[in-house]
Amino acid sequence: MATRPKSPRSPKTPDRDESIWDKIGTLGRKKRIKEVQEVQEEGKNAIDSPGNPNAVLIPAEDYNLSDNEQRAMIQPQSLNDPAVKKLLEVLINWINDELADQRIIVKNIEEDLYDGQVLQKLWEKLTHRKLDVQEVTQSEEGQRQKLKIVLQAVNHTLGFHHKTPKWTVESVHSKNLVAILHLLVALVRHFRAPVRLPDNVYVTVVIVQKNGMQLNAQKYQEQLTAQYDDVGMRCEPDAFDTLFDHVPDKLAVVKRSLVTFVNKHLNKLNFEVTDLSTDFRDGVYLCILMGILGGFFVPLYDFHLTPKDTDQMIHNVAFAFELMQDVGLPKPKARPEDIVNMDLKSTLRVLYNLFTQYRNIS
């Protein structure tokens, strides 16, 4: 059986550009892909050492670092921890409750807070003050400048005058979740937000650094919350809540009575107060008043007579609280930070307890 002859095939004329430059480009891409794969594999081996039960699972794209660049991230397994999930939920709900009247809704902490816009609104709501910054900034540099101003205000409010906080402009703007969580937890505690933070929340943080063709990785445990008592929880409603919310006229009467009581005793040392929320915030008058009411001398070296920062003010108020307990009074429900933060309701509660105990002494 005769076979049909094949049609002659035209010889393919190679395209000069395709045959030379495309092949070089292909070789270059293959080489880069191989290098990236090798670096990724080295990074995984550095982290997932044999026999390690807590293997670090990080997406390969997170290893694409420049030389000597370092990156810190939360190990993905930590984000599935129920306590971490609860902390994120509590913080997001708290922010949304505080900013509900401004129609601001936070869904993702690192994505929604990194540029400083939400942090600005939150600080303004908590402090009842206005920050002089541009409302909307589009450029990255503009965002950093705004965030710098916002964090300066936040750090000042939180008392970070000499100590270094666990967050920076760079860490917040780069969406470092650990730094942002530390910041929010500090705000919750300082302003005694009406929420309950889960105790002793830890996350595993992975630090990866590229050196040449090698990735070096380290892991460590970062504590986000500690063991709190009533910190961060709202006190049970009492008479002062009722006065503030419903009977402002009687509240004014109570304030005048407490001012009269306090000055009756402070005048013995030629001191006098006029504003209960501001005059007691540094704790000096509170320490002096306890000495007068308790009939003992308070050594000047036990407290700061002219406190220079918030930490020294908190020390003074905490020391005054200790003196109250030493004379048999119950531990104040307020925190020292509440008095320093000029929370009038907390200050009135403390002073009213003193009034109840010592109103009959001359």
State the SS3 of 234-253.
CCCCCHHHHHHHHCHHHHHH
In single-letter form, the type of residue at position 301 comes to: Y
Could you tell me how many helices (H) and strands (E) the chain has, helices first? 16, 3
Task: Please tell me the predicted confidence (pLDDT) of residue 238.
Answer: 65
pLDDT at 45: 46
Q: pTM score > 0.95 for this model?
A: no
d(CA 142, CA 25) in angstroms, rounded, equals: 39
- pLDDT < 50 positions in the chain: 1-17, 20-21, 24, 36, 39-40, 42-62, 229-235
Q: What pLDDT does 1 receive?
A: 44
| Residue of 51, 54, 122, 130 lying closest to 92 (CA atoms) | 122
233 vs 195: CA distance, rounded Å: 5
Residue 11 is predicted with a pLDDT of 45
**Which amino acid belongs to residue 240?**
F
Q: What is the pLDDT of residue 311?
A: 81
Q: What is the pLDDT of residue 26?
A: 54
pLDDT for residue 191: 84
Task: Give the pLDDT of residue 9.
Answer: 45
Task: Compute CA distances 112 → 44, 75, 118, 156, 228, whole Å.
Answer: 30, 21, 7, 23, 28
Residue 31: the pLDDT is 53
Q: CA 171, 99, 157 angle in degrees (round to 5)?
A: 55
Report the C-alpha gap between 314 and 192 in whole angstroms. 15
List of long-range contacts for 270-273, beta carbons under 8 Å, 24+ apart: none
- pLDDT (0 to 100) of residue 237: 57
- The pLDDT, as a whole number, for residue 61 is 45
Nearest to 219 by CA among 40, 48, 37: 48
Length of the chain: 362
Rounded (10°) CA dihedral 170, 172, 178, 184: 140
| Neighbouring C-alpha atoms within 13 Å toward the C-beta of 84 | 17
Per-residue confidence (pLDDT) for residue 317, from 0 to 100? 94
Per-residue pLDDT, 36:
47
Distance CA 286, CA 353 (A): 13
| Burial class, 358, CB count within 10 angstroms (exposed 0-12 / middle 13-18 / buried 19+) | middle
Q: Quick one: pLDDT at residue 4?
A: 42
pLDDT in the model for residue 142: 86
